[in-house]
Amino acid sequence: MKPFTLCLTVLGLAAAPMGLRAETQHLAPTVFYNTLSATHPPVLRIKSGDRVVTTTVDGAGAGADGKTVAKGSNPQT
């Protein structure tokens, strides 16, 4: 085994028990804003490498099912 490969293998085995595995986070948004602001509270905190599965609304505030869930134009999820 080449030294570089061995090094990566050892690092991979060492990281696994420490809980450094990426997770998939699922977010079903319930609050929508029409502004981008640091004053809006975060709805999800993730770690580096995590994946986020979510939905969004269209520019008129309608969700994937066609129902209006946000007011005004261009709501942000």
pTM confidence score: 0.58
3-state secondary structure the chain: CCHHHHHHHHHHHHHHHHCCCCCEEECCCCCCECCCCCCCCCCCCCCCCCEEECCCCCCCCECCCCCECCCCCCCEC
In this structure, which amino acid lies at residue 18? M
pLDDT digits (tens, 9 = 90+) for 14-50: 555 566 789 999 999 888 888 888 999 999 999 999 9
User: What is residue 15's DSSP assignment?
Assistant: H
